[in-house]
Amino acid sequence: MARLLFLIILCALPPLVVPIHNSSAGGCAIIRPPRDGGIRYRGLTQEQIRSVQILPVDYEIEYICRGNRVIVGPKVRKCLANGTWTDMTLPSTCLLLCPRVWTSLENGRVTPNPPGPPVEGTALHYSCHAGFILEGRNISHCTKLGKWDAPKPTCLYDRNYTGKKKLYIGALFPMSGGWPGGQACMPSAQMALDLVNNRSDILPDYELELIHYDSMCDPGEATKLLYDLLYTEPIKIVLMPGCSGVSTLVAEAARMWNLIVTKGSVCLYYTPPLVQPPYRHTQLFLHALRLQEPPRMSNSLIRAAARQKHPLFLDTDQGGALHRLLLARP
């Protein structure tokens, strides 16, 4: 009687782990992990992983790599109702990662081929901004040993250059990591700078240049890169973070250097005295006021904002306001 009661209770309990199928009906067969990698099975113990042959529909597996390797290709696959895994036509491989410091160049640009993380097989093409001369090779390849085949080049100042003066903007875009939104943000930011540079009525004697690093949407990584931006030449007059965690970090630190901070989809903030912030975002800045209509800002308001000691948040769409703010900034 006790045994029967135990079986009834056991059958009535909800399942505590992912249901495991032992037939091919309504599930997907186990697949092999990529070389130098493994598979993370969610909700399964080690014993269940060794014994299971079929996984249920909608179950997801995640590829992981060993050591200093990253997944190139689909990282997660899902079991479909037809018994196959998603994106099986796209291979997933674990490739060695070369040092990321090669992927940025002060006073120059780095173009990876193919785009993405700097893994074995990636080629980096280097070029310098106007007014600088490249010293070193203009191309470097990531080898199968996880090392670059050439030293990182440098861009030296050209003393004979007579063109426009440069104004530099330091950006921390999440090009990889948990939210690689920088892959869309960076081209948009570069387009905005190109529009400003092509206009003769905005900073006619200057040219805006973007120096960007990959923050990987990681505040810890962004902290190191932020100080690299601040303490390496050339001097940056504006900071442009991306990803909420990184933006918070930059916004809270920028006041120490009295720097302007810009971020997409954010209205202008300035710091007049004795004004209580009515919005949660302004908690980043003491006594900050959110302006509802940045395009209608007066020159006197721009100058008042520029005199403040706290950093400023400026909507990246307001090129005219940015122009006036740069002119008024002490």
User: Mind listing the pLDDT tens digit for each residue in 78-124?
Assistant: 999 999 999 889 999 999 999 988 998 888 889 999 888 899 999 99
Q: Return the higher-pLDDT residue of 320 and 288.
A: 320
Give CA angle at 192 (189, 196), nearest 5°.
140
The CATH number given to whatever domain includes residue 302 is 3.40.50.2300
pLDDT of 80 reads: 93
Alpha-carbon distance of 75 to 62, in angstroms, equals 6
Which structural domain, as residue segments, surrounds residue 66? 17-96
pLDDT of 255 reads: 77
Number of domains in the chain: 3
Question: Using 50, 70 and 90 to split pLDDT, how confident is the model at 300?
Answer: low
Alpha-carbon distance of 14 to 6, in angstroms, equals 15
Alpha-carbon distance of 236 to 260, in angstroms, equals 10
pLDDT of 304 reads: 55
Residues 72 and 122 both lie in one domain: no
Q: Is the pLDDT of residue 289 over 80?
A: no
Alpha-carbon distance of 269 to 278, in angstroms, equals 12
Most confident of 173-177, 301-305, 322-326: 173-177
CA-to-CA dists, residue 306 to 102, 181, 314, angstroms: 36, 30, 12
Q: Is 219 within the bounds of a domain? A: yes
Alpha-carbon distance of 52 to 47, in angstroms, equals 9
Both tokens assigned to 217: 């949407």
- One-letter amino acid identity for 111? T
Q: Is the pLDDT of residue 273 over 50?
A: no
Pair 266, 257: CB distance under 8 Å? no
Q: Is 138 within the bounds of a domain? A: yes
DSSP codes joined into one string, 1-65: -HHHHHHHHHHHSPPSS---BSSSTTEEE--PPPTTEEEEETT--HHHHHH--EEETT-EEEEEE
- Domain limit, last residue, from 38, 70, 96: 96
Between 123-127, 191-195, 245-249, the lowest mean confidence (pLDDT) is in 245-249
Residues 113 and 145 both lie in one domain: yes
Question: Max alpha carbon distance in the chain (Å)?
Answer: 98
Per residue in 162-220, pLDDT (tens digit) is 888 888 888 888 888 777 888 888 888 888 888 889 988 888 888 888 888 888 888 88
Q: Is the peptide bond before 114 cis (omega within 30 degrees of 0)?
A: yes
**Angle between the 319-328 and 299-306 helix axes, to the nearest 10 degrees?**
60
The CATH number given to whatever domain includes residue 104 is 2.10.70.10
Residues 307 and 168 both lie in one domain: yes
Per residue in 252-264, pLDDT (tens digit) is 888 788 887 876 6
Q: Which whole number is the average pLDDT over 28-33?
A: 89
Q: Which whole number is the average pLDDT over 14-21?
A: 40
Residues 47 and 117 both lie in one domain: no
Residues 178 and 217 both lie in one domain: yes
Contacts (Cβ under 8 Å, ≥6 apart) of 242: 171, 172, 173, 174, 181, 182, 185, 215, 217, 263, 264
